[in-house]
Structure 1
Amino acid sequence: MITAVDHVQLAAPPGSEERLRRYYVDALGMTEIPKPPVLAARGGCWFRTGGVQLHLGIEADFRPARKAHPGLRVADIERYGSRLRAHGAPVEWDENLPGHRRFYSQDPVGNRLEFLEPLTAV
């Protein structure tokens, strides 16, 4: 029986770790968490906020996912969208999910991310 999602893995090109850190820590407000030494040797970086973990792994022939994405629930989505724009990240609002406010953005290597907030408490 599956009980939870442990983490979501996204790919990134070699040498992109510093750009990823600026985005995931500074823009998104996540905390970088240490990778186990055997995995750290492969490059990439891991981030966490609350019970959510995103792992960015290095892929030599990297191409960003244009459709696949994690959906990240946020509080005060208008303010969160403004925060991302202030850090230079694109924010594309989408009104097609009933009962939610949501927008899409991309990290600095082009991975698609969805941010959403239910209109009523769930």
Structure 2
Amino acid sequence: MLDLIRLDHLLIIIPPGSKKAARKFYAEILLLKEVPGGHPRGAIWFEMADIQIHLREEEGHKTTSDRHPAFVVAKLEAAINFLKQRAIQVSYSSEINGRERCFFRDPWGNRYELIEYKEK
């Protein structure tokens, strides 16, 4: 038995030479808190709710994938407005009963989903 407790972090890949722009996007635009420190392989880390996002430069980055982490938000409409105010394009997908959701991508094409669960 694995006895899993929770998700700790996600590693997101960005193209080489993108660290400065990634700091701007994740810290200044999304307003995430950077976790200071000399992280392995030159990664930069940010806190998103109780999960960390680790960003690392890596060759071969692709932007066409629909793979993504999904984060639950308290108020989806407020989150959408927050993103749109920062000129971040929001997209939508198929409906899922009992949830509202949207997607956005970082400047390197990494996809994120935001979900609000609706009361029954």
Relative to the length of structure 2, the TM-score reads: 0.86
Query: Is residue 2:92 matched to residue 1:86?
Result: no
Partner of 1:106: 105
Partner of 1:64: 63
Deviation at 1:58, TM superposition (A): 1.3
Q: Summarize the alignment of residues 1-122 of structure 1 with structure 2, pairs less than 5 Å apart.
A: 1-35=3-37, 37=38, 39=40, 42-64=41-63, 66-120=65-119
Secondary structure, counterpart of 2:66 in structure 1: coil
**Matched-pair identity in %:** 30
TM superposition outliers: structure 1 runs of 4+ over 6 Å = none
- What's the CA shift string for 1:37-57, capped at 9, x where partnerless? 261xx3331110331211111
Q: 1:61–1:26: structure 2 CA closer, same or farther, 3 Å change rule?
A: same
Q: Distance in 1 between matches of 2:19 and 2:119?
A: 37
**Conserved? CA contact 1:11–1:64, under 8 Å:** no
**Conserved? CA contact 1:48–1:54, under 8 Å:** yes
- What's the CA shift string for 1:31-74, capped at 9, x where partnerless? 11124x261xx333111033121111111221135211000111
RMSD (Å), alpha carbons: 1.9
Q: Name stretches of at least 5 consecutive residues in structure 2 with no aligned partner.
A: none
Q: Distance in 2 between matches of 1:87 and 1:19?
A: 15
Relative to the length of structure 1, the TM-score reads: 0.85
Q: Name stretches of at least 5 consecutive residues in structure 1 with no aligned partner.
A: none
